[in-house]
Amino acid sequence: MNSLNKINSEGFAIINNIYSENEVEKLISLIENVTENASENATFRKSQDLFAIRQFHKEIPETLPFIFNQNLENIIESNFGKGYFITKSIYFDKPEKSNWFVAYHQDLTISVDKKADIENFENWTTKQNQFAVQPPKEILENNFTIRIHIDKTTKDNGALKVINNSHSKGILRIENLDFENEKETICEVEKGGIMIMKPLLFHASNKTTNNERRRVIHIEFSNQQLPDGLEWSEKAFEKGSEILRH
């Protein structure tokens, strides 16, 4: 089964060997150069269980030429086509002794530039002067996420668990999933590999049990224009070493 068929049928795909050892080490070096001053930045979240950088592509744009290597560009174009842009990015660093876990959920919100009274846009929130909203499911169904693994990720250090094909059921409350009749997959990914997933895929992660670090760059993509003058607040096209914001 090719990647696109697997993404459409299962809601996710794992592809290893996207980044060379040198590319991974360069990404780690660029991130570490910035994170030394983590406490000074509002988009950085740091605790003993998790370090995260929101708006990652804006905070460390130097990483983009390495992230968007020829392998990744080929995968995006062959599976989804052209015209896609970044709508959100987060860097997650789950330390070796982390007790952080995430229960099963769907990714239901998008980041936008303002609050507006638009039909079927609901559950508005504000975090760090950025608005988030749940859009109509048609927008979510057309988007995709790529998770870039810069550490080997296994069931023992917080690999994502997913419910296969749960993205095809629309927006659901977790209690409406019949877990006894669903297939669960633990998405183990090699260092330098990626996981592609659909936002409506139910996913979760467990605590770390093997004292191994788990670092992931999470990037969400869309090719859609939002209605009534609403705009993606993190929208960016990656061209070479420059981010083109629209």
d(CA 188, CA 75): 19
pLDDT > 60? residue 76: yes
pLDDT per position as a tens digit, 4-61? 889 999 999 999 999 999 999 999 999 998 877 655 566 676 666 668 899 999 999 9
pLDDT per position as a tens digit, 195-241? 999 999 999 998 888 888 899 999 999 999 999 999 999 999 765 44
Q: How far is CA 44 from CA 30, 37, 38, 204, 207, in A?
A: 15, 10, 6, 22, 21
pLDDT per position as a tens digit, 145-174? 999 999 999 999 989 999 999 999 999 998
The predicted pLDDT at position 48 comes to 66
Fold of 3-245: Jelly Rolls (2.60.120)
pLDDT > 70? residue 244: no
The predicted pLDDT at position 35 comes to 79
Give residue limits of the domains in the chain: 3-245
Higher pLDDT, 94 or 240: 94
CA 175: distance to chain centroid?
24
Which residues have C-beta within 8 Å of that of residue 224, sequence separation ≥ 6? 139, 142, 143
Please list the residues that pair with 52 across neighbouring strands. 45, 92
Residue 107 phi, psi dihedral angles, 5° rounding: -90, 100
pLDDT > 80? residue 243: no
d(CA 233, CA 88): 8
The predicted pLDDT at position 211 comes to 85
pLDDT > 80? residue 78: yes
The predicted pLDDT at position 6 comes to 93
3-state secondary structure of 52: strand
Which residues have C-beta within 8 Å of that of residue 126, sequence separation ≥ 6? 115, 132
Share of the chain above pLDDT 90, in %: 71
The predicted pLDDT at position 178 comes to 85
126: its two tokens: 């504000």
The predicted pLDDT at position 86 comes to 97
What is the average pLDDT across 160-189? 93
What is the average pLDDT across 175-190? 92
d(CA 226, CA 204): 28
Which residues have C-beta within 8 Å of that of residue 5, sequence separation ≥ 6? none
CA 54: distance to chain centroid?
11
